[in-house]
């Protein structure tokens, strides 16, 4: 559920006001969408895939233009990469290129699109947010991904983080506990032409054992402890990156060694929404040492 901030930038009053207006403006659309889903229930799991430029029937086709955005949106995205990512500590050229390519404005409610490339999270409905761009880039970079990797994401949210991952790796498996968000993200990713993203509705606390092991796992909501099931689904040399904690949270990377040993690194303080479902009831015996 892509929703992290570093605390380096406050959540501005303007964005809060815009969020309220967003929820009011989108309420009618959300009701209509729910009625449509009730008439045509979505499957619990869907497959969507990697975008390709040829998805527009010809150069400059509708889908290609939609992915790029308007010239102003392209300019703002380029500015985001330069001022928020490169100016900090995002140095991976692949991550920088993908962040400059994925149209973040399509993953936020339409009334909020003017804020899509700002340096803070934004509401996406259902009490959840899309993480600030820096956190998305930081966590992606921390996974140290390779083109052939298979990645598990816990918390699909808007689908933005999944899209970023899918531009880099071979397959993305993403789980969202809120059915409305899973349906909306799956529909958007499908419309944008992704073929290597698998969306499932459910509790991500236990991962996706049928598809394990994974080359990397990313969690975008904060459990109070590290779910052991996720650690168990790491392949040799794989990394798990997740926020851990309740009142105080920190971003943690756990790397699985070839002999089953685990290397734990504390990366930076963060603030994410808490992981819901089983994570709220499970004992906290798996906290990183």
User: How crowded is residue 66: how many other Cβ atoms within 10 Å of its Cβ?
Assistant: 14
Residue partners of 160: CB distance under 8 A and separation at least 6: 2, 102, 104, 107, 130, 131, 136
The catalytically annotated residue of 22, 131, 158, 287 is: 131
Contact 73, 103 (CB under 8 A): yes
Annotation marks residue 131 as catalytic = yes
Contact 51, 194 (CB under 8 A): yes
Packing angle of the helix pair 179-191, 13-39 (nearest 10 deg): 90
How far are the Cα atoms of 14, 82, 191, 231, 258 from residue 236, in angstroms, in the given order? 46, 34, 35, 11, 5
DSSP character for 105?
A: G
Tell me how far apart the alpha carbons of residues 66 and 78 are, in angstroms, rounded to a whole number.
Answer: 16
Phi, psi of 101 (to 5 degrees): -110, -35
Tracing tokens 């409305």 back to the chain, one arrives at 180
Catalytic residues: 131
């Amino acid at each position: 559920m892509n929703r992290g901030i570093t605390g380096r930038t406050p959540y501005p009053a303007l964005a809060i006001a815009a969020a309220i207006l967003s929820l009011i403006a989108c309420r009618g659309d959300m009701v209509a969408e729910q009625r449509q889903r009730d008439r045509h229930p979505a499957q619990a799991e869907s497959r969507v895939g990697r975008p390709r430029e040829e998805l527009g029937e010809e150069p400059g086709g509708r889908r290609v233009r939609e992915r790029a955005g308007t010239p102003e949106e392209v300019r703002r995205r380029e500015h985001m990469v330069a001022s928020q990512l490169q100016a900090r500590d995002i140095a991976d050229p692949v991550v920088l290129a993908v962040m400059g390519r994925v149209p973040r404005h399509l993953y936020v409610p339409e009334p909020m699109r003017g804020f899509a490339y700002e340096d803070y999270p934004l509401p996406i409905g259902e009490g959840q947010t899309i993480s600030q761009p820096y956190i998305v880039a930081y966590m992606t970079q921390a996974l140290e991904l390779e083109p052939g990797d298979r990645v598990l994401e816990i918390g699909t949210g808007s689908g933005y983080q999944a899209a970023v991952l899918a531009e880099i790796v071979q397959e993305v498996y993403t789980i969202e506990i809120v059915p409305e968000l899973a349906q909306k993200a799956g529909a958007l990713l499908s419309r944008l032409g992704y073929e290597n993203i698998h969306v499932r509705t459910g509790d991500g606390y236990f991962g996706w054992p049928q598809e394990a092991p994974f080359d990397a796992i990313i969690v975008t909501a904060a459990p109070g402890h590290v779910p052991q099931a996720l650690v168990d689904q790491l392949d040799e040399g794989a990394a798990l990156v997740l926020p851990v904690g309740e009142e105080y949270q920190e971003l943690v990377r756990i790397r699985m060694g070839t002999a089953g040993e685990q290397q734990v690194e504390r990366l930076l303080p963060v603030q994410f929404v808490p992981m819901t479902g089983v994570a709220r009831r499970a004992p906290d015996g798996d906290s990183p040492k």
